[in-house]
Structure formats: C-alpha cells, structure tokens
Structure 1
C-alpha cells in the first residue's frame, strides 16, 4: 500500500467528515442564498449574488450558531463524563473510576511509558495542561464560535432593524436580547437531546462493529465496553 492510500485509510473518519462538512456548507450556501433572495423579492427588494450572500452576516450567523452549540455539547460531555456515569453505556466509566483517576491509571509522570506524549511524561504545569487539553480546546472553540455568532447575529439583526426603520442596538443589548437567546437555545436544546438520547439508547441497543456500541451479546448493564 503506497503512502497516500495508507494516509487515507488511517485518517478516513476525519477525511470523510471533512468532506461531509464541506458539502453541507456548500449546500447551505446555495439553499440559504435562494431563501434569502425569495424573502428580498417578497419584500420588493433586489436579489443579491452568491458571493455577497456567503460574505453576509445572515450566512455567518447561521453557520456560527450551529458550530457553537456543537462545541458546547462536546465540552460538556467531555467534562461531565469525568464525574457522572450512565450504567450500561459504552460511553461511561465504571462507578469505581469516577473522577480524574490516578496517575498510574492515566499513565502520567513516573507511570508514563516511553511512547507516552512528552507533556505526559515531564510533570508539572505542562502535564496539568495536557491532562485537560481536549476539554480546554473544546471550550475555546465554543467561546470563539459563540462570539462569532453574537457579532454576526447583531449585524444581521441591525440590518433588519434599519430595514424596518427602527434603531440599531449595541453589542451588549443584543447579547441580552430575545433574538440572540432564541437562536442560541434552539441549538443547545437539540444538542442536549441528542447526546442524552445516545447515552441511554446505547445501554439497550447495539450497532455491530461500531466502537460507539457494546458488542451485540453484551449484557445491558455492562459499562465501558465497545465492540
């Protein structure tokens, strides 16, 4: 197997989702553009071209509000699964392992192996940061996308206000507005529903061969085993 094929095989999941993301963004751009122009024509306005639409606050806020809810979901799931369990779920730890676990269990410091990442071996602040790096990255991405949503949302909201001959609002006023939280909470509740459903359904249902599922014949009460 040549190097290129090996790379594709070893990174197939991320490459596949990257292509799906690109395809969804392109599809959203064209669908949103058509919908936006339909509304402009209905309001006796002039339609705009695709480039102007994808660089507009309307498109940016639609993208950002979805991204921030996804990163919030993963940040909370990563953090809460340290301390909370769902008995029987392959996504959950065993009851005795609740918490951050010992250095020996986590292979850090003097318990690290020669193949462990450098920052897991050196100890001190670097190991402390690396030990929480996944959750921190999800938190940073959530905050950045949340900020992007708030700024683009304010711009889109103010454009609508001006079109209705009403006064625009400032950033702080918009962040506390019903428009902002209506957009935000719609996305949050859908993410919480999806991840909560997955945690419960994976106790009693199976998907053969998936690491997100227990082996087909595993008892319902068996926890932290994928197949």
Structure 2
C-alpha cells in the first residue's frame, strides 16, 4: 500500500466527516440564500447574491448557533465522564477509576512510556495544561462560537427590525436579554443532551459490531469501559 492510500486509510474518519461537513455547509448556504431572498421579496426588498449572503450576519448566525451547541455537548461530556458513571456503558469508566486517576494510571511523569507525548513526560504547568487540554479546547470553541452567535445574531436581528419591520434597532446588551437570543441559544441544547444521555444508556443494552462506541457483541450488559 502506497503512502497516499495509507494516509487515506489511517485518516478515513476525519476525512469522511470533513467532506460531509463541507457538503452540508454548501447545502445550507444554497438553501439559506434562497430562503433569505424569498423573505426579502415578501417584504418588497431586493435580493442579494450568494457571495453577499455568505458574508452576511444571517448566514453566520445560522452556522455558528449549531457549532455552539455541539461543542457544548462535547465540553460537558469530556468533563462529566471524569466524575459521573454509567454502569455497563463503553463511554463510562468503572467505579474504581472515578475522578482524575493516579499518575501511573494516566502514564505521566516517570510512569510515561517511550512513545508518550513529550508534554506527558514534562513537569509542572506544561503537563497540567496538557492533561486538561481537550476540555479547554472544546470549552474555548464553545465560548468563541457563542460570542460570534451573539454578535452576528444581534446584527441579523437589527437588520430584520429596521429593514423588514421598520422598527428601531436595539443595543447589544438589550439583544442579549431578548427572546431571539435565548431562543437561538437554547433551541438545540435539549436535543444534544437527550442524544448524549440516550447514547450512554442504549450502549449498555444494544450493540454495533466492530464499532468502538459499542461493547463487543458478547460482552455482558454490566461490562463497563469495554469497546468492540
């Protein structure tokens, strides 16, 4: 197997989801552009080109409001699974490993292996930062996308207020207390929490052969932290 084929095989999951992401984003852009121009026409306003729509606050807020909820889901799950357990789920640790775990269990410092990341062998702040880096990155992306959602949502809201409804615009602080902002903020959270919680429970009793998100088909229901 040549290097390009080996690279595709070894990175197939990220490549596949990257392609799906770009395809879905393109579909959202085309559908959103058509919907936006229909809304413009219904208010007697001129439509805009696809390029202008892609640079608009309306497109930005529609994109990032979903990113915000997804990264919140991962941020909470990364931290929740440190301390919370689900007996029988491959997504949960066994009860005896609840918490941050010991240095030998985490293979850090003098317990690190030859191929461990350099940061796992380091001392002090570097190792501590690396040990929580996944949650920090997920949380940072969540907060950044929430900020972009707030700013672009405020701009889109004021455009609708002024251009479509002939009403006065609102300040940023006032928008942050509005129903529009909190509707955009919370509308996906309930589905994300339901999906994650149900996955943790379904994976106790159901199987998907060959998937690391599932236990082996023959594993007992009570088996925890096993994957197949």
Q: How large is the RMSD of aligned CA atoms in angstroms?
A: 0.8
Query: Contact between 1:108 and 1:123, CA under 8 Å: does it hold in 2?
Result: no
Instruction: Give 1:221 deviation, angstroms.
Output: 1.1
After the TM superposition, list the runs of 4 or more consecutive aligned residues in structure 1 that deviate by more than 3 angstroms. none
Which residues of 2 match residues 1-227 of structure 1 at below 5 A?
A: 1-163=1-163, 164-227=165-228
Query: Contact between 1:94 and 1:224, CA under 8 Å: does it hold in 2?
Result: yes
Secondary structure at the aligned position of 1:220 is classed as: coil
Instruction: Give 1:49 deviation, angstroms.
Output: 1.2
TM, length-normalised to structure 2: 0.97
Deviations 1:122-145 (A, max 9, x none): 121100000000000001111111
Instruction: Give, in whole Å, the separation in 1 of the partners of 2:18 and 2:81.
Output: 26
Instruction: Give, in whole Å, the separation in 2 of the partners of 1:93 and 1:166.
Output: 54
TM, length-normalised to structure 1: 0.98
Instruction: Give, in whole Å, the separation in 2 of the partners of 1:148 and 1:175.
Output: 12
Instruction: Give 1:120 deviation, angstroms.
Output: 0.5
Query: Contact between 1:73 and 1:192, CA under 8 Å: does it hold in 2?
Result: yes
> Which structure 1 segments of 5+ residues have no match?
none
Query: Contact between 1:208 and 1:216, CA under 8 Å: does it hold in 2?
Result: yes
> Which structure 2 segments of 5+ residues have no match?
none
Instruction: Give, in whole Å, the separation in 2 of the partners of 1:40 and 1:160.
Output: 10
Matched residues, number? 227
Instruction: Give, in whole Å, the separation in 1 of the partners of 2:173 and 2:102.
Output: 44
Instruction: Give 1:100 deviation, angstroms.
Output: 0.3
Instruction: Give 1:3 deviation, angstroms.
Output: 1.2
